[in-house]
Structures are given as structure tokens and as C-alpha cells.
Amino acid sequence: MLTVSNLTKAYGGRTVLTIPDLHLSPGIHYFRGGNGSGKTTFFRTVAGLLPFTGTITLDNQYDIKRDAVAYRMRVNYAEAEPLYPDFLTARDLAGFVGKAKRAPAGQVNTLAELLGVDTFWTKATGTFSSGMLKKLSLLLALLGTPKLILLDEPLTTLDVTTAANLFDFIRQLTDRQEVSFLLTSHQDVSLTGLSIANVWQVGDGVILPAT
Ligand SMILES: Nc1ncnc2c1ncn2[C@@H]1O[C@H](COP(=O)(O)OP(=O)(O)OP(=O)(O)O)[C@@H](O)[C@H]1O
């Protein structure tokens, strides 16, 4: 599903990740590691938000650099701590992102109800609690017809009902083998109820299968 080759990611000349060769099969992948180990850097790089050296290819077809638009249409990302321009509403952002990601008719409203974003649809994000920001970021990451969704710390600040709805929805998508997910969490991922077959340890600048 995702192939990473000869990747090096540095900030200001300091290398924080080196990934010679990583193949991720379809399904749900959990990345664990201590604070500052490189999980968010890896996710932001795979999402196409950070420059890097090397190659990232989706489905042996879409190269993140060569096929930049096609790749980004198929890879969505929810930040661990999302921030938006504070004057925009949930409706504004879902409208923009839904259009950019070519969301199918009705998808925005269905997801807004699933995640409870409909209850604060027209409020400015500057007035949101951290849980409301998290719900909106998860909604945005589900829009369109992605093949891969990256969720950085989806459990933090999410209320129990919304978390159950979200993970039920993810289970349906992965059962139908439509979408793959990469997750990070400092909390117990068994709380998601998802069957996570692939666990990776991030640390010392590398990513290795967890033992
Ligand atoms: N914008 C940046 N500029 C410089 N260094 C950065 C930047 N972002 C992250 N780093 C460094 O890169 C390393 C990896 O950070 P990253 O945020 O990827 O870790 P993480 O595993 O997501 O951590 P956490 O679990 O605390 O969220 C750390 O040493 C961090 O200091």
C-alpha cells in the first residue's frame, strides 16, 4: 500500500528520521514511540506537508513528488493538535476541504452527524474546545475517497461516544478493505476496538517492527 525508500528527514541540518526501506501492507498500522521520537514528523512527511529526501509511493503508482496532486487526493491527515484560522467555522472548513477532496454528495453532513460536529456547525473555530477541534480535524481527514488516512493521536480529548462512532466507522472502512490507516497514540490502542495487526516502534531516528 505505501512504500518508503531512502528517506531522510532533517530539521535545520539535524537528521531526525532515516528510513532505508519500509513497506506498509493494506490495513491498520499503529506507530508507537516516546515523546520526540519522530512519529508526527513521519506522518507529516507522508501527508506531503514536509520536504524530505527519498521516495514515498502509494499503491505502487502515486509518487508523492511526481504525482503530487493525485497522491494528496488519496492521502488524508488529522493533526494531533489541530489549529485553524479562528474566524472560520466548521461549515466553512468542511466546505473548502470537501470541495478540494471531491467529497461525494452528502458525505460532509453524514460525517458531521457521526462525529457530532453538526451541533457546533456555524461557530467560529476560535471558540472551540480542544475536543471540538479534534472532532473537526477527524471529519476533515475522512472527506473524499482517500486510500490512506493518517490519524495522529485520535484518542486525545475525544469524548467516549464520539470515539465509539469514529472507530466503528473506521472498522467498516477497513473491513471492506477500502482504506488503510496509520495511527499514533500514547494511550492504550486496544481502547479503539480495532484489530491492529501491524505495530511499529519509532525511536533513535528509525522505524522498526515492534517486537
Ligand atoms: N519544526 C521543527 N523544527 C525542528 N525540530 C523539530 C520540529 N518538529 C519536530 N522537531 C524535532 O524532531 C524530533 C521528532 O519530533 P516529533 O514531533 O516528530 O516527535 P513525536 O514522536 O511526534 O513526539 P510526541 O509523542 O511528543 O508528539 C524531535 O527531536 C523534535 O524536537
pLDDT tens-digit map of 38-52: 999 999 999 999 999
Name the residue at shortest CA distance from atom 11 of ligand 1: 36
Q: What is the C-alpha separation between 125 and 122, in angstroms, rounded?
A: 9
Gap from CA of 91 to ligand 1 centroid (Å): 31
| Domain CATH number, residue 35 | 3.40.50.300
Whether 23 maps to a domain, the answer reads yes
Q: What is the pLDDT of residue 190?
A: 84
d(CA 166, CA 139): 9
Report the chain's mean pLDDT, rounded to a whole number. 96
Is it the case that residue 188 has pLDDT exceeding 90? no
| Distance from residue 93's CA to the centre of ligand 1 (Å) | 27
Number of folded domains in the chain?
1
- Give the domain range for residue 72: 2-82+145-209
The cell numbers describing 57, all together, are 509511493
Write the residue with the smallest CA distance to atom 29 of ligand 1: 36
* Buried-exposed string 94-123: b where 16+ CB fall within 10 A, e elsewhere: beebbeebebeeebbeebbebbbbbebeee
pLDDT at 113: 98
8 located within any domain: yes
Report how far ligand 1's centroid is from the alpha carbon of 176 (Å). 34
Residue 153 CA, closest ligand 1 atom number:
27
Pocket test for ligand 1, best of 32, 37, 52, 150 (most atoms within 8 A of CB): 37
Specify the pLDDT at position 211: 81
Lowest mean pLDDT among 20-24, 59-63, 134-138, 173-177: 173-177
pTM over 0.90: yes
Residue 184 lies in a domain: yes
Residue 191 counted as domain residue: yes
On whether the CB atoms of residues 168 and 137 are closer than 8 A, the answer is no
Name which of 43, 45, 122 is nearest 81 in CA terms.
43
Give the Cα separation of 125 and 111 in Å (integer).
18
Residue 90 C-alpha cell reads as: 466548521
Please give the distance of CA 195 from its chain centroid, rounded to a whole number: 17
Give the three cell numbers for residue 204. 533513535
Smallest CA separation from ligand 1 atom 4, residue = 11
* Inside any domain, residue 180: yes
Cell output for 206: 528509525
Q: Is 69 a residue whose pLDDT tops 90?
A: yes
Question: Would 25 be classed as within a structural domain?
Answer: yes
Distance 111 CA to ligand 1 centre (A): 31
How far, in Å, is the centroid of ligand 1 from the Cα of 123?
31
Residue 174 belongs to some domain of the structure: yes
198 - beta bridge partners?
29
**CA 116–ligand 1 middle distance (angstroms):** 31
Which residues contact ligand 1 via a Cβ below 6 A?
11, 16, 33, 35-41
- In this structure, is residue 54 part of a structural domain? yes
DSSP state, residue 192: G
Atom of ligand 1 nearest to the CA of 33: 21
| Confidence (pLDDT) at 197 | 83
3-class SS at 29? strand
Atom of ligand 1 nearest to the CA of 41: 18
